[in-house]
Structure 1
Amino acid sequence: MTAAPWALLSGAVKGVAKKYSQDRSAALSVAGGRAVVLVVADGHGSAAHFRSDLGASWAVEEFTACARAFAYEAVRVGGDASGWTGLREEARRLPQQVGHRWHEWALLHDRNSPAHGARSHRAGRAETERDRKEPPDLAAYGSTLIGAVLTERMVFCWQLGDGDIVFVDDAGVPHTPLSTGPDMGDETDSLCAPEPWRKMRSHWQPFTGGAPPCVLLSTDGLSKSFADHQGFLDFATGLSGRAAEQGVAAVQSQLPDWLARAAQFSGDDTTLVGAIAAPARRSDES
């Protein structure tokens, strides 16, 4: 058997009445098509987070850079179980790598263009030694982050803040590996917090038999458009079923309309990326 290629899905729409979207995303094949990197980030977007589009962009950029290197290692290890422990340790380090790199971008940007004005003019007084030692408030750049790395052998995923990761297996059964239950209000974990990697959830799953699942990542604008969580899961399973029946290209062509309809209900930016493994071809096929 040869490695199964991955067919990718990607779509995003701006929230109703919003000037521009705070969501960012990426879906790309790496390692000669033997692995996929998926990521979505949702800038918080409120007045306190008025630069969160930048924060979401950095989240996607830095996760993609770190996850790409990790994906090559995951492909190299493959099905060799003796290498899985080291790979999982590397996966546990990835959130801190991404968090540090994101904070470096935010600190540099804030240093060159302070989000809350020059510190020396704060409260109409001269800058003090305490001001110079106090870390800047990075809330202006706040963003969530959801990412995944898939290979033909396994999937790794990470999540900070709201949004959803759904696996749909070849029997059409959905699974949400990092769900923490219903959201409580609008509060969410964020990259702008100190040491955000400590709150990042992670999941690892080897594919021990059967086809790899359909993997979908979405910002919370999608799930919030449904009356309940089951409705959202039904959407995910329906999307996976249509891809199997009609082909991924047909689903991709309809995805913008589906997301636009969802955004009308939630009012929020709505973004989805996904990967579906095509059936593996046998090496003796022409």
Structure 2
Amino acid sequence: MSPLADWETLFESVQGLGKKLNQDRGRVKGTGSAEDPLILTVADGHGSASYPRSDVGAHFAAALFVDKGREFGACLGPGRPGGRLSRLHDYARYELPERLVRDWQTEVWEHWRRQPGPEGADAPRKDVLRLYGSTLVGAILVPGLFVAWQLGDGELTVVDEDGRVRLPLAPEQAELGDETASLCLPEAWRLVRVHWEPLPDPERGPRLLALSTDGLSKSFASDAGFTAFTAGLYERLAGRGLPGIADDVPRWLAEASRHSGDDTTLALAHRAERGDDGPGPSADPRTTWGATPEAARPWGPEPPAEPDPSAKPEPSAKPEPDPEVPDGTTNDDEETERR
């Protein structure tokens, strides 16, 4: 009997230490069926005094992506001919990003007209949009198709059936400093990266989708450390299931935030397989793991290597925090949209 697949989902967000407000937002919706697409999204408002309404902008971004995701999923529902996939590919790559950006900018402008700031309701539109600046990462999964979009920083991390970790939307070149693409740019849709992945064999589809704001990846000294985190997270999920780690995730994100100084948000979906005679999706795997040795920590520094007496000391990967500034942070994120 072939195994049945259930998507376990989780969304957690932790405010950065020393920050007055969490600028991150996100959503996880759906089951992954043709009638109810699995939709994940995270949005990161730029923060700092230059973007005082970026938390509102991030909220609009996440909510609009869910709406667009449902519309996109409806095009793949029962009764839709398979030949539409080529048309949907063009829609996903060009039309959906433009509609999403335009709708976001319209919603932001209407919000400003209802609740203007000191600049007044008739302030220049481009200046108003900038106040709400936000990035966005979103993914949709239905039987036979996985599609994802990204504007600005943040990460989409995928673990395949063989345990391979990949970042399909990683930019070819890292963005400079704190500059990032943003929904507030006039033609932001031109900067959206798109991943299109047909899944003709459901058994070879992703086992884990993880979307995170850059507060998580910035907490690691290298890309390899971030990849190892995802591999460790998947290892625990495969053994324990989501209920077995749900209470630990906020602690892991808080630890990451302590290192990055930024809001840290994670949205994930884990494909948990079970046989007909196995436990149902509501079973708590901690029952069977009670007497089992603890798995390796998904987050945290690797064990120190044996010291080499002939080696010269290397500088620390992270600077010591400034005693005058909590946790070494100086601002509320200070991302800047790419001009």
Shift of 1:96: 1.4
1:99 pairs, out of 86, 98, 101, with 101
C-alpha separation in 1, matches of 2:151 and 2:113: 25
2:167 maps to 176
1:265 maps to 259
Asked whether the equivalents of residues 34 and 73 of structure 2 are also in contact (C-alpha less than 8 Å), the reply is no
2:184 pairs, out of 173, 178, 192, with 192
Query: 2:236 aligned with 1:246, yes or no?
Result: no
Asked whether the equivalents of residues 152 and 212 of structure 1 are also in contact (C-alpha less than 8 Å), the reply is no
1:230 pairs, out of 219, 224, 238, with 224
Which of structure 1's runs of 4+ aligned residues deviate more than 6 A?
none
C-alpha separation in 2, matches of 1:243 and 1:5: 13
2:60 maps to 58
C-alpha separation in 2, matches of 1:151 and 1:51: 34
C-alpha separation in 2, matches of 1:280 and 1:82: 33
Matches within 5 A, 1:108-147: 108-118=110-120, 135-137=125-127, 138-147=129-138
Asked whether the equivalents of residues 213 and 266 of structure 2 are also in contact (C-alpha less than 8 Å), the reply is yes
Secondary structure of the corresponding residue to residue 46 of structure 2: coil
Shift of 1:32: 7.4
Structure 2, unpaired ranges of 5+: 281-339
Percent identical pairs in the alignment equals: 40
Structure 1, unpaired ranges of 5+: 121-130
Shift of 1:244: 0.6
Q: Residues 39-62 of structure 1, C-alpha deviation per residue, up to 9 Å, x if partnerless? A: 000000021101000000000111
Q: Which has the higher contact order (CA 8 A, sep 6+)?
A: 1
Shift of 1:141: 0.2
Query: 2:151 aligned with 1:157, yes or no?
Result: no
Q: Residues 147-184 of structure 1, C-alpha deviation per residue, up to 9 Å, x if partnerless? A: 00011322100000000001111221111111014332
Query: 2:41 aligned with 1:39, yes or no?
Result: yes
1:125 maps to none
Aligned residues: 271
1:85 maps to 86
1:201 maps to 193
CA, structure 1 residues 229+154, in 2 after alignment: closer, same or farther (shift >3 Å)? Answer: same
Asked whether the equivalents of residues 241 and 272 of structure 2 are also in contact (C-alpha less than 8 Å), the reply is no
Compare 110-119 and 263-272 and name the one that shifted more. Answer: 110-119
Asked whether the equivalents of residues 134 and 183 of structure 2 are also in contact (C-alpha less than 8 Å), the reply is yes
C-alpha separation in 2, matches of 1:192 and 1:113: 18
C-alpha separation in 2, matches of 1:77 and 1:248: 34
C-alpha separation in 2, matches of 1:113 and 1:102: 16
CA, structure 1 residues 224+160, in 2 after alignment: closer, same or farther (shift >3 Å)? Answer: same
CA, structure 1 residues 2+242, in 2 after alignment: closer, same or farther (shift >3 Å)? Answer: closer
Shift of 1:196: 1.1
CA, structure 1 residues 34+118, in 2 after alignment: closer, same or farther (shift >3 Å)? Answer: closer
Query: 2:265 aligned with 1:274, yes or no?
Result: no
C-alpha separation in 2, matches of 1:257 and 1:211: 32
Specify the code of the residue in structure 2 equivalent to 1:245: G
CA, structure 1 residues 37+109, in 2 after alignment: closer, same or farther (shift >3 Å)? Answer: same
Secondary structure of the corresponding residue to residue 265 of structure 1: helix
Q: Residues 231-281 of structure 1, C-alpha deviation per residue, up to 9 Å, x if partnerless? A: 001101111111111112212221111111100000100001011222276
Higher helix residue share: 1
Shift of 1:116: 4.9
Shift of 1:118: 2.3
Specify the code of the residue in structure 1 equivalent to 2:246: Q
C-alpha separation in 1, matches of 2:241 and 2:253: 18
